Structure 1
Amino acid sequence: MNVLYITYDGITDHIGQSQVAPYLIGLGKKGHQITLLSAEKIDRADIIDKYKMKFAEAGVEWHFVTYHKSPPVLSSMYDILHMRKRAKELIQKNKIELLHCRSYMASLIGLHFKRTQGIKFIFDMRDFWPDAGREIKRFDVENNFLHKSVYKYFKKKEKEFLEESSHIISLTEAGKLVLQGWKKEGMKIKSPISVIPCCADFDVYDRSNLDPQALENMRQSLGIIGNEFILNYLGSLGPAYLTDEMMDVFRTLLQKKPDAKFLIVANNDHHLAVEAATRKGIAPEKIIVKRGTKNEVPYLIALSNLSLFFIIPSFAKQACSPTKLAELLAMNVPVIGNTKIGDVDDILRLDLNNSAVVKSFTNEEYDSVLSKVLPKINEGNNHIRESSLRFSLECGIDSYNKVYQSLNSN
C-alpha cells in the first residue's frame, strides 16, 4: 500500500527516533511503500544525516520541512501550511492511497486531503492532546484568550478527526473507552478503533546484548558500590510528574533497604529532582541524577532493581502509554506506577511482572506496595520480559500492518 505518514514530531526528536522511525522501517519490510513527511529541527544535522541513510536503506522516502518554534501559534500555522503543500506534491507523485497522521497537528493535513481528494486517513491520536495541553497550562484557557481560542479550535477538530477518519488508533484501552462513551453520547464515530500501545525495540532493550565491561564502567562512573539497591526513575521532569511523591516512596524504601540509591535518568530540569530530595531531607549522596543518551539508557536500566514513575492523574492521562514502561519491562525491571494512568492498572501486576500500582499518595500505601513488591523481586525477575512481548516493536509493527491491510481491502 502507498502510505504517506505525516508527523509534526520530528525524527530529530527522541520520540521520533523511538516511536516513528522503527515502525516505518518495519512496515516497509512488510511490503508497504512508505513516504514520510515531518517537521525537523535542522540544527541537528548529524541526526538528519544518520536517518537519511537508515531510511534510504529501508526504502522509506523521507521529506521534511523546517520546524519553527516562534512566534507561538503563527509558526505552527506556517509549518502546517508548508507541510500541506509538500503533502499535495507527494500524494500526486507517489500515488498515495493512505494518509497515516500522528496526533492532531498532522491530522489537520490528513483531514484536508480526505475531504478534497477522498484519500483514506488514519487518526493516530496518541492522547487527548488539547486536554493534555490544558491540564499542564500549555493552553491557559482561564487566563489567555489566544490559548482558549486554540484549545476550542482543536476540540472542534478532534470531533471532526474522530467522525471523518477511516481508522482511529488509541494508545490505551482506557482511551478507547472514552471514545466509545462519546459515541454513545451522540458523536458520529463510525470508524474502527484499534489500541496500539507505545512499544520498545526488545533487541535494544535486552540485557544479554549489553557489553559487560561497559555496564561495569557505567556502574563505577555513577558511584554504585557492590550490591546497592537501585531505584530508578526514567523520563522527563516537570509539571506533569509527581517528583515530591516519588521522593516519599524512596524515603520509605530507605527504611527497608538503607543502602538504596535513587537513580534519576532525565534529560531536563535536573534541579527539580535535587530540590525535591532536599525538601524531603534525603542525603545528597543517595541521589544520582544523570542525562542518559539513547545508547546509555539500556545500561542505566540494567543497573536498576526497581523502577518508579508517578504521573498526575487526569482526564487526558487516560490515553497515556509511557514509552518507558515497555523499555523497563523488556529489561526485566519491575515497576511501581500510580493508578488512573492509561492502562497501567491492568499492566502492572504482582503475579505477571512483580510490579504494582499505588492507589493513593500516602506513606502507608507506599509501605504496603513495597512490602509486596520487594519479596517478589527476591524471587527473581527473569520472567518479566517474556510476559511483556505485546509491548515489543515487532508486535506494534504487526498491529499497524493489520490496520493497513484492513484499509487496503476496503
Structure 2
Amino acid sequence: MKKHVLYLSYDGMTDPLGQSQVLAYLKELTQYDFVFHLISFEKKDRWEQHGDFIQKFCDEAKIHWYPQSYRKKPPVVSSFLDVKKMEKVALSIANRYPIAFIHCRSYMSALAALSIRKKKGIEFLFDMRGFWADERVDGKIWNINQPLYKYIYNYFKKKEVEFLNTAKHTISLTQHAKEEMLRWKQLHLQDKDISVIPCCVNTDLFNPEVIDAQKTFETKQKLGIAEADFILGYVGSLGTWYMLPEMMELYANLRKNKQQPVFLFVSKEDPENIYKQALKYKVPKEEIVLTSCLHHEVPEYVSTFDLSVFFILPAYSKKASSPVKQGELMAMGIPLICNAGVGDTDKIITEAQAGIVLKGTQPEHFKNLHLPEVNRQEIMQYAKEKFSLKNGGLKYLLAYKKMIS
C-alpha cells in the first residue's frame, strides 16, 4: 500500500541544492511505494529559468509538486508570511490525502510542521540540515548585538529544542552534530532518535570512469591549460563560509615546488575578488583560471584536477555541516586538502586516506606540505559507500520506517 508523505522545503527545487539534495532523494524513494507531495518556495529568476524543467522531472518521477513564490521583502516578516502560506497549502493537501507523516527540511519548514502536528496530529521527521540559527550568527547574517536579531536568535534556539523534542525522528548531517545534541540537557533524546545522513552525491554522474582521457585533454585545451600543468582545483561558490584568502595563500606555497602550476576555479564567483587575493599573495594572474558550468558538467572539469582544496570557517555551527563538494570530489577520486573542525570532514578524509587535514590555516600550516601517496580507486570506493544516493536513500528509508512503525 502506498504511503503519502508531505515534504516541506523552504529551499527551491529550481536551486541547485534542491535538485541534488531533495529531488534526487525523492526520486530514489518513490521506488519504495512512497507518494510525495512537495511544497517548495521558488525565487522568481530561477523559476523563470528552470521551472518547466523541474515540473517535467517531477511529473516523470510521479512527485506532486506545489511550488510557491519566495518573498524577499520585508526582511524577517516575509519569511514568516511564507511559513503561514506553507502551512495553509500543507493543510489543504492533508485534507485531501491520507498523509502518513511530514518530512520537513530545516527550521522554517519545521515551524509549519509543528503547527500542523498540533492541528491534525500528523507526526513529522525533522531533517535539520545543520544548526541553522547558529549559522546565521556565525555567518554574520544576524548581529545579536542588535535587539531584533538577538530576539530572533533566542526564539529559534527555543524552537530548535521544541523541534527536536517533538519530532518523531531527526536527521543530522554529521555524527559530530549528533553527539553534540545528545549532550544538550534540555533534550529528551536517545541515540536511536537521530539518524546521520551526510549530503550525498550522484555517483553515476560523478564517476571518472565515464570520462575518458581524451575528454579531459579537450577540457584542458578549452581552458588554455597545458597537459603537463599541475592543477589545484576549487569547485563551487565561495559565499560566507569558504576561506578564499587562506586557500590562495596555500596555493602560493604549493606553486613554489611546481614547474607549471595552475589554480583552477570552477565557480560563478566574481573574478575580481579572486584576482585581488592572487595579487595579495603574489600569485601571477595568468596562473588563475576561472570557469563556470552547469551542474551536470562539473565532473568534466573536476577530472582535470590533480589536487583540490576547500577551507571552511571552523565556527561552532559548522559541527553540523556536510559539504556537498566533498562527496563530489571524493567520488571523482580527487585527493583533498581541507581544514579540521568542520562536521565529520577531517574524520572522513583520514579514514579514506584521501589527502591532508590541516590543524589550522595560518602560514605555518602551509609550509613544507607533502601530499601522501593516495589510491584514487580506494577514494572513489569509499565515496560510493559513504556518499552515494543509493545508500543515502536506504538510510532515509530506514528513517521513514521508524516514522510509520
- Sort the Cα spacing of 1:82 and 1:303 in 2 relative to 1 into closer, same or farther, 3 A: same
Q: 1:59 is matched by which residue type in structure 2? A: K
Higher mean alpha-carbon deviation, 171-180 vs 248-257, is at 248-257
CA deviation vs aligned residue, 1:10-62 (integer Å, no higher than 9, x gap): 00111101111100111111211111110112433341111111111111111
Pairing partner for 1:404 from 395, 400, 403: 400
**Residue aligning to 2:376:** 381
Say which SS state the counterpart of residue 189 (structure 2) adopts: coil
Q: 1:302 is matched by which residue type in structure 2? A: S
**Residue aligning to 2:79:** 76
CA deviation vs aligned residue, 1:209-254 (integer Å, no higher than 9, x gap): 2366554332112111012111111122234221111111111111
Q: 2:236 is matched by which residue type in structure 1? A: G
Deviation at 1:264, TM superposition (A): 1.4
Say which SS state the counterpart of residue 361 (structure 2) adopts: coil
2:86 is the counterpart of 1:52: no
Pairing partner for 2:157 from 137, 143, 155: 155
Say which SS state the counterpart of residue 123 (structure 1) adopts: strand
CA deviation vs aligned residue, 1:247-300 (integer Å, no higher than 9, x gap): 111111112213111111222333322211111010001111222321221111
Q: 1:99 is matched by which residue type in structure 2? A: I
Pairing partner for 2:391 from 388, 395, 399: 395
CA deviation vs aligned residue, 1:358-386 (integer Å, no higher than 9, x gap): 00223442235x31x2x515xx4222111
Deviation at 1:91, TM superposition (A): 1.1
Distance 1:15 1:260 in 2: 32
Decide whether the 8 Å contact of 1:141 with 1:147 is kept in 2: yes
Higher mean alpha-carbon deviation, 108-117 vs 325-334, is at 108-117
Output the TM-score relative to the length of structure 1: 0.94
2:13 is the counterpart of 1:14: no
Distance 1:246 1:187 in 2: 38
Pairing partner for 1:131 from 134, 139, 161: 134
Say which SS state the counterpart of residue 39 (structure 2) adopts: strand
**Residue aligning to 1:254:** 255
Deviation at 1:69, TM superposition (A): 1.1
Distance 2:403 2:36 in 1: 15
Higher mean alpha-carbon deviation, 380-389 vs 90-99, is at 380-389
Decide whether the 8 Å contact of 1:237 with 1:269 is kept in 2: no
Counting only pairs closer than 5 Å after superposition, residues 78-157 of structure 1 correspond to structure 2 as 78-142=81-145, 144-157=146-159
Number of aligned residues: 400
Say which SS state the counterpart of residue 361 (structure 1) adopts: coil
Decide whether the 8 Å contact of 2:200 with 2:324 is kept in 1: yes
**Residue aligning to 1:303:** 304
Deviation at 1:112, TM superposition (A): 0.9
Say which SS state the counterpart of residue 81 (structure 1) adopts: helix
Q: 2:296 is matched by which residue type in structure 1? A: N
Decide whether the 8 Å contact of 1:240 with 1:312 is kept in 2: yes
Distance 1:270 1:100 in 2: 39
Counting only pairs closer than 5 Å after superposition, residues 204-243 of structure 1 correspond to structure 2 as 204-210=205-211, 214-243=215-244
Distance 1:367 1:292 in 2: 33
Decide whether the 8 Å contact of 1:215 with 1:299 is kept in 2: yes
**Residue aligning to 1:346:** 347
Deviation at 1:157, TM superposition (A): 0.9
Decide whether the 8 Å contact of 1:252 with 1:363 is kept in 2: no
Distance 2:118 2:240 in 1: 38
Pairing partner for 1:40 from 27, 39, 42: 42
CA RMSD of aligned residues (A): 1.6
Higher mean alpha-carbon deviation, 209-218 vs 269-278, is at 209-218
Higher mean alpha-carbon deviation, 161-170 vs 293-302, is at 293-302
Distance 1:54 1:106 in 2: 23
Distance 2:271 2:398 in 1: 41
Q: 1:101 is matched by which residue type in structure 2? A: C
Distance 2:132 2:186 in 1: 21
Distance 2:306 2:222 in 1: 18
Pairing partner for 2:177 from 168, 175, 178: 175
Higher mean alpha-carbon deviation, 110-119 vs 262-271, is at 262-271
Where does the alignment leave 5 or more consecutive residues of structure 1 unmatched?
A: none
- Sort the Cα spacing of 1:159 and 1:91 in 2 relative to 1 into closer, same or farther, 3 A: same
**Residue aligning to 1:362:** 362
Q: 2:380 is matched by which residue type in structure 1? A: R
Say which SS state the counterpart of residue 378 (structure 2) adopts: coil
Distance 2:270 2:101 in 1: 40
Say which SS state the counterpart of residue 395 (structure 2) adopts: helix
Distance 2:108 2:154 in 1: 14
Distance 2:59 2:357 in 1: 43
Q: 1:299 is matched by which residue type in structure 2? A: E
Q: 1:61 is matched by which residue type in structure 2? A: H
Say which SS state the counterpart of residue 336 (structure 1) adopts: strand
